[in-house]
Amino acid sequence: MNIDIELIQESKIDKVDFNNLAFGKVFSDHMLVCDFADGEWKTPKIMPYGPLSFEPSARVFHYGQAVFEGMKAYKDDNDDVFLFRPDENFHRLNKSGERLAMPPVPEEVFIEGLKKLLKIDNTWIKKGMGNSLYIRPFIIASEGAISASPAEEYKFIIICSPAQSYYAGEVRVIFAEKYSRSADGGVGFAKAAGNYAAQFYPTSLAHKEGYQQIVWTDANTHEYLEEAGTMNVFFRIGNKLITAPTNDRILDGITRKSIIQLAKDYNIEVEIRRVSVAEIKEAARDGELKEIFGSGTAAVINPIKGFKHQNETFELPDLNDSYASFFKDKLLKIQYNILEDKHSWRVKI
C-alpha cells in the first residue's frame, strides 16, 4: 500500500515528562490522515501532528457523523512492539461507521497504516508495565454542507498519545434511575462520539453527590444493569462472574470479551445474562456480592467500591483475591509479552 510520508523536522519528545502524563493531553510527532471523496478512499498520508482545516459547514459539526476507537501499543523488554487484538478494533470501527451511514475504511489503510505510523513514532512507546501508546483512530464527516443527509466526504485519522497506568482512585457509582445511555434500535453498540457527550450531564450530577460514575440501566424499565460509565461492567456474586449480553444498547468491548475468555481458560464460572438491580442489591444485603468492576481499553479494569440506588448505599468488601486484580494481571502480562498468548491476541509490529 502506498503511503505519503512527511516527517517532522524536529521531534518534541524531549520536551515531554513521561513520568507525569495527563491522559490524552500529549500527542506523538505524527498522525495518519486519509480522505474519502468521489466515492473512494484516497492515498493515506502520515504527517506531523497538528491542526487541520475544516469548513464551518463540515457535517460533523452539525449532524454528528463521528465514530472512533481506542487501542494501545505496548513495548516489551526486548523493544518489540505489540498491538492487542487490532482486528477487533478495525471491525468495530466499521460496524460503528455503518450505523452512522459512513463508508468502511479499508483494512490495509487501518492496519498497515497504523503499523507504519507506530514504526515512525516508535520512541514514543515506552517500556515498563503500565506504559503504553494510546491510539485513537476515528472517522468524521468533513464535507462542507448543512443539508441533513449523510456526507459525501470523510476523513479517517489516527492520532497517538503516550499513557501511563490509569488509576481513577476509589470509584463509587450510582445506578441510573432516570437518564439513559442508549435505547433499543439506537447507536449504543457503536463508538459514536455523541454517545459520550450524552453521558456528560448525568455524570456531572453524580459527581455533585460524591459519586464518580453511573452504572447505566435499560432505557425502558431501568431495572437491568448494562454499562458502567464508558466501560462494560462485571459483577461477582459468590465465585460466579456475571455480565450483561451485548445488544444494540451495549458496546461489544474487546477487554470485556477477553475477560470472558480468560475466565473460561481458568475455570472461573461466567454467566452472560441480564443482571437486575434487584438481584445485585439482594446479593449485597446477603454478603454474596463480592465485586463490581468495569472493563475497557484505557483503565483495563477499574474496581468499583460501592454503589447507590434510590436511598440505599452499599459498600463492597476489600478482597485479597479479587477477580479484578487477577484478570488485570493476566491481561497486562499478555499485552506486554510476559505471559503465553494462547489465543493469538498479540500482533507484533
56 vs 38, 68, 292, CA distance in Å?
Answer: 21, 21, 44
Q: Report how far residue 182's alpha carbon sits from residue 120's, in angstroms, rounded to the nearest whole number.
A: 39
In the chain, what are the domain boundaries?
4-163, 171-335
pLDDT at 90: 98
C-alpha count within 13 angstroms, C-beta hemisphere, residue 178? 6
Name the residue with cell 452499599: 314
According to CATH, the superfamily of the domain at 171-335 is: D-amino Acid Aminotransferase, subunit A, domain 2 (3.20.10.10)
> DSSP state, 15?
G
pLDDT of residue 298: 86
Of 238, 191, 161, 239, which Cα lies nearest the Cα of 65? 191
Per-residue confidence (pLDDT) for residue 168, from 0 to 100:
66
User: Rounded to whole angstroms, how far apart are CA atoms 348 and 26?
Assistant: 24
Q: Looking at the predicted structure, is the pLDDT value of residue 315 above 70?
A: yes
Number of alpha carbons in the 13 Å side-chain half-sphere of residue 194: 16
211, pLDDT greater than 70: yes
What is the CATH architecture of 4-163? Answer: 2-Layer Sandwich (3.30)
pLDDT one-digit tens code per residue, 69-97:
999 999 999 999 999 999 999 999 999 99
Angle between helices 86-99 and 254-265 (to 10 degrees): 140
The identity of residue 215, as a single letter, is V
Question: What pLDDT sits at residue 103?
Answer: 98
* pLDDT digit string, tens, across residues 156-207: 999 999 999 876 678 999 999 999 988 899 999 999 999 999 999 999 999 9
Quote the CA–CA distance of 337 and 168 in Å, as a whole number. 25
pLDDT of the residue at 230? 85
Q: Give the rounded distance of the alpha carbon of 45 from its chain centre.
A: 25
Residue 15 scores a pLDDT above 90? yes
**Separation between Cα atoms, residue 163 and residue 298, nearest integer Å:** 9
Q: Are 134 and 162 in contact (CB under 8 A)?
A: yes
**Per-residue pLDDT, 332:** 96
The span from the CA of 154 to the CA of 328, in Å, is: 37
- Is 171-335 the same fold as 4-163? no
d(Cα 112, Cα 117) in Å, to the nearest integer?
9
Higher pLDDT residue, 38 or 165?
Answer: 38
Residues of the chain above pLDDT 90, percent = 95
pLDDT higher than 70, residue 299: yes
- pLDDT (tens digit per residue) in 218-277: 999 999 999 998 899 999 999 999 999 999 899 999 999 999 999 999 999 999 999 999
Alpha-helical regions (H) of 64-122: 86-99, 107, 113-120
Q: Is the pLDDT of residue 287 over 80?
A: yes
Query: What confidence tens digit (pLDDT) does each residue in 109-153 have?
Result: 999 999 999 999 999 999 999 999 999 999 999 999 999 999 999
